[in-house]
Amino acid sequence: MGTTSGTTRGTASQRATRSGWPGRERFWPTGFATKRPGGRVVATLAAVFLLAVTACAQAPRGQVDPTPDSPLPASPPGGAESAAIGLVNIWRVSGAADEKPDTWLRLEAPAFQLWRDCGMIDGSWRATESLFLASTYGASGECVTGATLPRVAWLESVTGYRAAGASWELTDANGAVVATLTIDGNPDAIPTAAEFYTQPPVITAAMRETLRQPASLPPEFTPASSDDLVGRWVPVSPSGTSDSHVFFAADGTWTGSDGCNGGQGRWAADGHGALLSTAGASTLIACEGAAVPYWVAQARLTSVDDGVLRLLDAAGAELGQLKRD
């Protein structure tokens, strides 16, 4: 595969710091393309770590503000091992719109690598027993085009998955098959990535914990459906005069704020109490408002009773309560 030439964009103060990812020199979010030795280019945009999303949202009292290089504080263990652990492998992608036959998706938890002819695209993913969400945050080789990342529209439209024999089907919000994943060979090594990325990942205890099912929703709570969640919500007990809120859109995206820092991402609910969300980068401004984007990012369970939306983490601990605005 060829490589792209180019110039470093932005001043030295605008360039991002390196992350500790194995096998590749990665750069945390700048929105710029950065030239590497040998003419290879790596670009990252608003790096999204699906489990550590609110690097910029205010953390609740007693918790540590996450950074791109430090995971969020661990919650107590949730439920049983998830069927999603079966997704951890390297898969040939078929049936996906605009993808060529030699496209592979390597799923480790919580990261993914999508192999195309141009190089490799990086991102993160989360899953429950039936829900699946993924977001792109980086690329290498000729997949980098200027200061923008290539779109993976089909992957970003996926909200669920189901077994299909030895394969997996990724589905959209209507249950239609978006792509099929099959074990069928391996991608060729490329100069911009370590060779071990061409092999299936080794399933670790940390991966199992990442994908572990959340605790059960308390029986006194009513599981929230997707229709229940759509709309604008504000804290039941407002903090200060800030405009803390979240808006769950019907298209599966959300936006919100703690009153000082904005947040946005994707969301999906299964109607049985499970909730998945992703979130992108934001600012980190001290704020008296309720950390609503943080709540959304950490929520794995949700209920609606008497007009009150409860968001709970994987251990079943309540993050916050919201009401319709």
The whole model's pTM is what? 0.71
Task: Yes or no: say if 1 and 141 are a contact pair by the CB < 8 Å rule.
Answer: yes
The two tokens of residue 297 are: 């990012």
Q: Number of C-alpha atoms within 13 angstroms, CB side, residue 176?
A: 8
Q: Which residues pair with 128 in a beta bridge?
A: none
CATH, domain 80-211, list 2.60.40, 2.40.128, 3.90.120, 3.30.460:
2.40.128
CA pair distance 27, 42, nearest whole angstrom? 7
Class of domain 226-324: mainly beta
Mean pLDDT of the chain: 77
Can you give the length of the chain in residues? 325
Cite the beta strand spans of 186-300 per DSSP E. Answer: 231-235, 244-248, 253-258, 262-269, 275-277
Average of per-residue pLDDT across 84-93:
97
**Per-residue buried b or exposed e for 4-37, using 16+ beta carbons within 10 Å of the residue's own CB:** bebeebeeeeeebeebeeeebebbbbbbbbbbbe
More confident residue, 255 or 287: 255
- Ranges of each domain in the chain: 80-211, 226-324
Q: What is the pLDDT of residue 225?
A: 94
Q: How confident is the model at residue 37 (pLDDT cuts 50, 70, 90)?
A: very low
Digit-coded pLDDT (tens) for 276-300: 998 766 677 778 888 999 999 999 9
Digit-coded pLDDT (tens) for 144-163: 877 777 779 999 999 999 99
Angle at 303 between CA 302 and CA 304, to 5 degrees: 140
Digit-coded pLDDT (tens) for 39-68: 333 443 333 333 333 333 333 332 333 333
How many CB atoms within 10 Å of residue 166? Answer: 8
How many CB atoms within 10 Å of residue 255? Answer: 16
